[in-house]
Amino acid sequence: MIKYPETFPEFETMNPLNSKTESPNRVVRHRKAVSGSGGKRVEVTVPANDAGLIKAIAGALRSGGKKARMVRKSLQPILTIPKARTGKELIEFLRRSPLADIALDFERDRSTGRSADFD
């Protein structure tokens, strides 16, 4: 997990009032408020023409409510691969795999291995 810094030194030079404490403190307060409310900072790189779309999706999810539920409901089936929950689903998955028609012969190596000297 990437841990982002609480403050950034470049903010000190960008402050027009030249206050070395005001701008970083504001950033710290904002990040604590966001994380305290269950938010998570995420940074992504996308094609420039998709940036507006990603911002709109993030805004809808952040706002909660009906709009967020609709976005989740429409995107989750497209973007997630369901996990096999039963043996039957696993068998169906393996039968659909590219290896289904290939005759594979697996034999377990029954040798006792080699001795190891740990002294």
Residue 48 confidence (pLDDT): 94
Q: Give every CB contact of residue 70 below 8 A, 6+ residues apart in sequence.
A: 60
* Per-residue pLDDT tens digits for 28-49: 888 888 777 778 888 899 999 9
Residue 53 confidence (pLDDT): 94
Residue 40 confidence (pLDDT): 82
Q: Choose among 44, 66, 41: nearest CA to 53.
A: 44
Residue ranges of the alpha helices (H) in 7-64? 10-14, 22-36, 51-63
Q: What percent of the chain has pLDDT over 90?
A: 23
Positions of the chain with pLDDT under 70:
1-23, 82, 84
- For the entire predicted model, the pTM comes to 0.45
